[in-house]
Amino acid sequence: MGNKNKTISFRVNEDAFETLREIAEERDLSLSAVFRNYVDMLVAHGGQVEVVPEHEVDDSGPADDPTEFPPKIEVPKSFVRNHERLELEAEHLREQLDEYKRYVTHLREQLDEQDAEDVIQLEDLDSESEPETDEPYRLG
């Protein structure tokens, strides 16, 4: 069994969103990376994450220390840009999928309307003026 990624979504007000975007730009990260880093830290420390101003963070530990908090990892800019490009492409594909789903729904509605017109009820074939016969109806 593989480790499957899950998606978390939530809403923030516009001011908080702009502040988060500025933080991401300062650190040369995508917004997704900022949230992933936060969630990873929260999980790694059992929910015991304290938000402190950056100037109060003690940077005395070695940079490659795995217990360092907050962890610092350098990622090439090309990786971040590629990730952002893939996120945009995924968003575009989701929009296309939604558009195709709406189109399929529209076609199904049209088909249902046409089918309703093409349905012939057997009762309608029997007329009261004609005498009943034992001859079967021939379709075709």
Q: Are 24 and 31 in contact (CB under 8 A)?
A: yes
Could you tell me the CA-to-CA distances from 47 to 39, 42, 107 in Å, in that order? Answer: 9, 5, 49
**In this structure, are residues 78 and 70 in contact, taking their beta carbons and an 8 Å threshold?**
no
pTM > 0.75: no
Q: Whose structure tokens read 């009261």?
A: 128
How far apart CA 131 and CA 56 sit, in angstroms, is 99
pLDDT(37) > 60:
yes
Kindly report, residue by residue over 61-118, the tens digit of the pLDDT. Answer: 445 556 667 777 788 888 889 999 999 999 999 999 999 999 999 999 888 887 666 6
Which pLDDT does position 132 carry in this prediction? 59
The confidence band for 140, taking pLDDT boundaries of 50, 70 and 90, is low
pLDDT classification of 23: cutoffs 50, 70, 90: confident
Backbone dihedral region for residue 112 (phi beyond 0: left; psi -120 to 50: alpha; all else: beta): alpha
